[in-house]
Structure 1
Amino acid sequence: MSAAAVTRLAAPLVLPCDPECSVLRDGVLDIDADGRIAWCGPRASAPPAPAAVCELPGMLLPGLVNAHCHTPMTVLRGMGGDLPLLRWLREVMWPAEGRMTGPDVRAGMLLGCVELLRAGVTTSVEMYFYTDALVEAVLAAGSRAILTPGIIAVPGWDRLGSWRDMMNDVSARIDAHGLRHGPGQRIELGYGPHSAYTLPAEALPEVAEAARERGALLHLHLAETLEEDAGQRAEYGSVTRMLDRLGVLGARVLAAHGVHLDADDIGLLARHRVAVAHCPGSNAKLAAGVAPVPALRAARVPLALGTDGPASSDDLDLWSTARLAGRFARLSSGDAAALTAAELLLLATRDGAAAIGRDDIGALEPGRWADVAHLRTDDPAFLHLGEGADGALISNLVWAGGGRLVSDVWVAGDQVLSNGEPTRVDRAQVQADARAVATRLRPA
């Protein structure tokens, strides 16, 4: 269904994900011909109804934002699943990725895009290689992505060129196409320097300067495990302090994980408005630790949620990530009110979008892209749907509901998921293609 045909979506419940996390009853959402939101609010105060009105049961809310992912790794899911991070990377992941081709990456990315959409996730921040393959997959599925092609300097990756070649390729793409392009501006480009421990120190400020010049997102791994950056910590005290001294922090910086941070590190992140993509599922599975989310929030560090890659998390359901984030925050702080259901919902939508520097997604507000998820409420998760039970309804949604309730999804006003199935690709074929790649890559 095109953006021009879908002009109004109406539902008994609409969660616009405004700062108050309001619940609208008998709400409508108007979408203009460009795929942006023209109006959102109660039907009683809506503009005159357009010719095309889509009446839906259940609820509408913004598409979720997955702020850190390596989605093509769907084809590596299940490999090395019981190893700590560095052994997992060096012994299993990097050798397997060394055998991947552009078509392999496209197959894995396309399967992941379908999986994300089926969970109501419309935007993901990706760090991976073979940029053309990533773009093709995102546009084929109709989803939205911030692509930060990987920049790395470790044995085996030189087949793709030096770290400077990787950086220059990103710069050339942005200079040629702009930061955002494609239908509904579905593609944004940024820079993905992998980490301080996989790049020479001189690379980091050079990549940061290229990103600053173009207003692009700089996306890197930070303080995920204790053992990964021992050399950098010995010299600088911490990787955060290293990045500060090298002039990397500032502008649009997104740090994935942020597990092992002390008070000084958190102060630096707050001062430079560096956002942290919290990935509790991956961190727990790899025994990396628990990020200090209560301290980050107290310091007003911008925070978002990420699944990490499907080879380490192992799914792309941001709802389960949100629940785990809430449980870890409460467990680590001893505060049963740490990260409420409403706060978790906003982390996955409005606040997550803000953390990555996007004010055009993440909420159902005029001017933003019409990235919308429609969820069923005819589920045992929902016991509180009536007037006066807004808090309980959001609690039911976040703590007991989730991705299984997603029925339909629109991105830039285009319906890309209908009744749980993608509208643009054949899911069975997508799964078969990815399965063939996975079979070939799996070690004997």
Structure 2
Amino acid sequence: MTPLSRYSSFIAAASWLVSPHVSPLSGGAILVQDGVIKASGLLEELKRDHQVPVIEYPDCAILPGFVNAHTHLELTHFPAWRLRTNVNYNPRRFVDWMIQLIKIRRGIGAEEIPSSITEGIRLCLESGTTAIGEIVNNPAHAQLYRSSLLSGRLFFEIIGQDQHHFNRMLAAALEACSTASDRQLHSGLSPHTPYTIAETFLPRISAVSDNLPLAIHISESAAETDFIFNSNGPLAEELFPFLDWKRHLTPPRRCSSTELLDRAGLLKPSTLAVHCVHLTLGDAEILKQRGVSVVLCPRSNERLDVGRAPVALLRKLGIPLALGTDSLASNDTLSLWDEMRFALNTFSRELSPADVLHMATIGGAEALGIGATHGSLEPGKRADFQVVKIGGEGTRDVLERVLFHGMLEDVYLAGDRYAAATFQDSFFRRRQIDASVVPSPNLQ
């Protein structure tokens, strides 16, 4: 995505201003100065107080850029890889899918990963996502993300049953965290799952991650529940032999994934618990006590047939919720618009449009530790926002019309707006801005 030249100051106005925690504002606008939102309110009031160019979007709504709290962008080209690698292994269960994923990934050369990541970044930006919680398998790829205009947090992945492999991954992840953080993309660690890291290594991760947020896949499948509690089931009988990990099998732990991680000190307010499909009441209470945020990935869970997260329980306990797409190895798109609409249909009794908007904006930003600068249209926050043509008629209110029928028109990152040529997918349209409103060829 190539940014157009930026006005140092301008007003963006639409028929509605839509931001979490507040009612949609008719005739709303935001004042942008040097890539930051300086004021928001009624267009007429901002025009009266600030003599700057005005970009108007009639019949549209301005929303914050979305925050995709859980992604694996290196797997963006997975559907194409699957077609060409001749892996004759069709998944029927979660463990089958994991083995298929590993087989296909092993057949892909390292030189193909950068283009897959770059495509994932493009798909995020062009569907209104401006910040991500990305799982990075190879720290050498961090610069690809940092050279983009995405913001958020990079969680450097740690996997290992073998001491040597674990030490190498942990050292590389810690080095990446110490050298690569910046104001745009912060750093964190991702201990992959409780079953892909030896239990004896978990306290060590806790000891070295005092100031680092964590992202951990927790209780994604029933197979994980069986494995952690009884050391049996498909993970023990199929995945571990496939990975030559049989010697690393442990006696039954008689606990859940959440309890295991809590004992190791890995659950803290800056921890993201991803998926959480098979949580018990006791597990959820532990997450609540530790201040953990949960990232839901409902389309991925549906695709892999692992069940549905206990959203009613999580909401009853007041556990902070965010939304993620996971990867294109287990999802159809990287669009949070698609994820939100699926969540609204799937959890129609548990989640309202306002709840889902919160999860995709400020909820995700707070989960990633960037809520002070992202996730809403409040003054002082980075000017990451999207413009959406309002669709739908009838009795639906503005927020419902936007979420169920909205059509993306424009995306801004830190005050930069993007050219029409970047919106090539048939799912998106862009409205040409009237030259009489913004008299600059740089914005055409």
Q: TM-score normalised by the shorter chain: which range applies? A: 0.7 to 0.9
The alignment covers a number of residue pairs equal to: 390
Distance 1:93 1:3, change over 3 A: same
Offset of 1:283 from its aligned partner? Answer: 0.4
Contact preservation (8 Å) 2:153, 2:368: no
Q: Distance in 2 between matches of 1:397 and 1:52?
A: 26
Distance 1:326 1:81, change over 3 A: farther
1:306 is aligned to 2:289? no
Q: Distance in 1 between matches of 2:333 and 2:421?
A: 17
Distance 1:76 1:141, change over 3 A: same
Q: Counterpart in 2 of 1:274?
A: 292
Per the normalisation by structure 1, the TM-score is: 0.82
* Residue identity matched to 2:291: R
Offset of 1:140 from its aligned partner? Answer: 4.5
Alignment partner of 1:11: what SS? strand
Q: Counterpart in 2 of 1:366?
A: 379
Structure 2: gaps of 5 or more residues:
83-88, 231-252, 426-444
Offset of 1:3 from its aligned partner? Answer: 4.4
Alignment partner of 2:175: what SS? helix
Q: Counterpart in 2 of 1:291?
A: 309
Per the normalisation by structure 2, the TM-score is: 0.82
Offset of 1:325 from its aligned partner? Answer: 1.9
Contact preservation (8 Å) 1:106, 1:134: no
Deviations 1:383-403 (A, max 9, x none): 26xxxx8x61111122333xx
User: Which structure 2 residues correspond to residues 208-357 of structure 1 after superposition, within 5 A?
Assistant: 208-212=206-210, 214=211, 216-234=212-230, 235-330=253-348, 335=349, 338-357=350-369
Contact preservation (8 Å) 1:383, 1:393: no
Q: Distance in 1 between matches of 2:400 and 2:341?
A: 11
Q: Distance in 2 between matches of 1:194 and 1:308?
A: 13
Alignment equivalent of 1:60, drawn from 38, 62, 68: 62
Deviations 1:234-283 (A, max 9, x none): 31420101111111111310011000011000000111111111011010
Alignment partner of 2:208: what SS? helix
User: Which structure 2 residues correspond to residues 34-73 of structure 1 after superposition, within 5 A?
Assistant: 35-46=35-46, 48-57=49-58, 58-73=60-75
Offset of 1:170 from its aligned partner? Answer: 2.5
Alignment equivalent of 1:125, drawn from 120, 133, 156: 133
User: Which structure 2 residues correspond to residues 101-120 of structure 1 after superposition, within 5 A?
Assistant: 101-120=109-128
* Residue identity matched to 1:75: H
Distance 1:15 1:101, change over 3 A: same
Q: Counterpart in 1 of 2:401?
A: 396
Distance 1:132 1:52, change over 3 A: farther
Q: Distance in 2 between matches of 1:139 and 1:414?
A: 16
1:76 is aligned to 2:78? yes
Structure 1: gaps of 5 or more residues:
428-444
Alignment partner of 1:124: what SS? strand
Q: Distance in 1 between matches of 2:217 and 2:422?
A: 33
Q: Counterpart in 1 of 2:241?
A: none
* Residue identity matched to 2:173: V
Offset of 1:102 from its aligned partner? Answer: 4.5
Contact preservation (8 Å) 2:388, 2:402: no
> Cα RMSD between the aligned structures?
2.4
Offset of 1:173 from its aligned partner? Answer: 2.7
Q: Distance in 1 between matches of 2:95 and 2:403?
A: 33
* Residue identity matched to 1:358: I
Offset of 1:353 from its aligned partner? Answer: 1.5
* Residue identity matched to 1:362: G
- The structure with the larger Rg is 2
Percent identical among aligned pairs is 27
Distance 1:81 1:309, change over 3 A: farther
Q: Distance in 1 between matches of 2:323 and 2:90?
A: 22
Distance 1:131 1:407, change over 3 A: farther
Offset of 1:204 from its aligned partner? Answer: 2.1
Q: Counterpart in 2 of 1:414?
A: 416
